[in-house]
Amino acid sequence: VPACALSDFELEARKRLEPAIYDFGAGGADGEVTLRENEVAFSRVGLVPRVLRGGGAPELGVELFGSSAAMPVLIAPTAFHRLFHAEGERATARAAALAGVIMVASLASTVAIEDVVEAARSAAPGAAPEIWFQLNVQPDPDFTERLVRRAEAAGCRALVVTVDAPVFGFRRRDRRNGFDDLPDGLHCENLREPGRSGEPGRVRPLAFLRELSWEHIDRLRKLTRLPLVLKGVVRPDDARVAAGRGVDAIIVSNHGGRQLDTVPATIELLPAIASAVEGRIPLLLDGGIRRGTDVLKAIALGARAVAIGRPVLWGLAVAGQDGVLQVLGLLRDEIERALVLCGCRSLAELEPSLLRLVRAERR
């Protein structure tokens, strides 16, 4: 049976994965209110298409401070890809390179960042690999700096700092499943110290930083010339501060419902942030993007592009590199079809008048 929707990959992945690993990917924090809302909120926004404005195939490419992408969808940073497929982040990176999309590689990758970039490079020789590096600021400032230098040296094109995780969200599914560590043989390879005489070095624990503050962002801004992206901003006031502090972009994100529960759906938070930022820096959005129409709605409300987390993991679990490529290809087809059906000849024609709120009682 062909996969006809991104949700088909989740169904198939669920059949193949150990339940505790499926739950690790699918689950959210606490009562999973935010997790559910992210997806459901898109169905409360209706699309009202224009007609009789036919044109050629719409251009889907986007530019983000020097990085170019074939469509306005990035791969969100997600931890531990080798739990989902033996080739892990290498397979994801190759699929991203082949599809021409930007992959944000997680600090908590089970493949070292140098090898992730190399996998992208080898899959699409000639094209510059578009890998961004996601960082959780670590308590040891020297270690944080070494991570930034590694990302720069590896050829990463931007630094994405996750700001919604000063502590780790509480995931009831993981606690109930006793899922609290990586299985034997898998490690966070970015946290490995250089070893002596060819021996693998020790792996540091992934730490969270309660003290995380704007001063850390200022320090990172001084430390690197890479574009700096904050992931996890959900308020207009914070977005305005970020824009004034030399941050290059924001990802409006509630971490896919995995950190603070009951944060509203990101698609509902986006319009106020877009008004506050007034186009000074590009906005990206993630959380609950499962179909092409979701992407259109986010762009119509002010996002330059979106990112997907779980659908990539499900594609990876189903068929490795090819599964991720299928997910990206399906989403691309859906975006293109929905854009034409909306009477838009380009992403730039997406705007709020195409949207209507669907009243809850009439859903």
Ligand X SMILES: Cc1cc2nc3c(=O)[nH]c(=O)nc-3n(C[C@H](O)[C@H](O)[C@H](O)COP(=O)(O)O)c2cc1C
- List interacting residues with ligand X (CB under 6 A): 24-25, 38, 76-79, 106, 108, 134, 162, 231, 253, 255-256, 258, 286-289, 308-310, 313
The maximal CA–CA distance of the chain, rounded, in angstroms, is: 69
Q: 203: which DSSP letter? A: B
- The type of residue at 234 is V
Query: Rounded distance, CA 301 to CA 333, Å?
Result: 21
What is the C-alpha separation between 27 and 225, in angstroms, rounded? 35
Q: In the complex with ligand X, which residue's Cβ is closer, 307 or 339?
A: 307
Catalytic residue among 81, 85, 187, 255: 255
Q: Which is nearer to ligand X, 35 or 319 (CB)?
A: 35
- How far is the C-alpha of 172 from the C-alpha of 92, rounded, in Å? 27
Rounded distance between C-alpha atoms, residue 36 and residue 59, angstroms: 32
Instruction: Provide the minimum distance between the beta carbon of 21 and ligand X in the complex, in angstroms, as a whole number.
Output: 9
Q: Shortest Cβ contact with ligand X: which residue?
A: 309
- C-beta closer to ligand X: residue 163 or 347: 163
**CB-based contact 292:337 (threshold 8 Å):** yes
- Minimum CB separation of residue 229 from ligand X in Å reads 11
| Residue 174 CB, nearest approach to ligand X (Å) | 10
Annotated active-site residue 81? The verdict is: no
**Which of 77, 129 has the CB closer to ligand X?**
77
- The span from the CA of 186 to the CA of 249, in Å, is 32
Among residues 143, 105, 142, 100, the alpha carbon closest in space to that of 123 is found at 100
- Closest approach of ligand X to the CB of residue 349, in Å: 25
Q: Which residues are catalytic?
A: 255
